[in-house]
Copies of this chain bind each other. A is one copy, B any other.
């Protein structure tokens, strides 16, 4: 667990690639460290976007809530990623909530300094916009998926995605590195926890995954990949 800010450690993170150690030190001097207990909200959808953040340790769930109280998980943030960067896109409010999926450590900067910072460190600005580009593309990929693929494929894709981004090798296979429930998966894929449970039970029987309470280990990622890409029985 991190107690002090060491520029030399943090500078290697992707958001800062291309910056000098001096620049990093100056930038870090303006940051405020932050701890977030599992389950706590770092910010809420609709709140004024006062800060942007860098996750140093943990995982964060980015969630949108509908007027009816339903939730949709927009994405997971892993350590080393920026989040809450509404200001970079000229937004006054956060478009979603950020919830700590486990105990987290992060840095925060006041949104005010975004423009000056981006101007002073073009590499940082470029990296940030690349991140945003990736997320826009990701959102549109998922839109296409939602529009054209069946639940089984979407759930398989979602799990593969999580494994790819946050997988940890274990004796059994590749484990998703944070607690994740059937309900979470259903909120990522636009289905119900029941359907997810049924699908995963099936896959467990087939030996593709091994899963327990808020825990998913993937054994046959190739087979899952086949499921993610297979067409319906017709056509």
Contact = CB atoms under 8 A, between A and B. Distances in A.
Contacts of A13: none
Interface residues of A, number: 40
A74 B74 CA distance: 17
Interface string A128-147: 01101111110110111011
Contacts of A146: 143, 146-147, 190
A90 interface: yes
Contact of A148 (B68, B133, B142): B68
Given A136-B135, A139-B139, A231-B68, A90 B129 contact: yes
A66 interface: yes
A19 to B, nearest CB: 16
Contacts of A126: 90, 115
Given A70-B148, A132-B132, A140 B89 contact: no
B90 A133 contact: yes
Contacts of A96: 140
Give chain A's interface secondary structure class: helix
B143 A139 contact: yes
Contacts of A91: 133, 137
A231 B122 CA distance: 47
A132 B89 contact: yes
B129 A88 contact: yes
A227 interface: no
Contacts of A133: 86, 88-91
A72 interface: yes
A205 to B, nearest CB: 27
A136 to B, nearest CB: 5
Interface of A: 64, 66-68, 70, 72, 74, 86, 88-91, 95-96, 115, 119, 122, 126, 129-130, 132-137, 139-140, 142-144, 146-148, 187, 189-190, 229, 231, 235
11 contacts: A68-B231, A72-B143, A72-B148, A86-B133, A88-B129, A88-B133, A89-B129, A89-B134, A129-B129, A136-B136, A143-B146
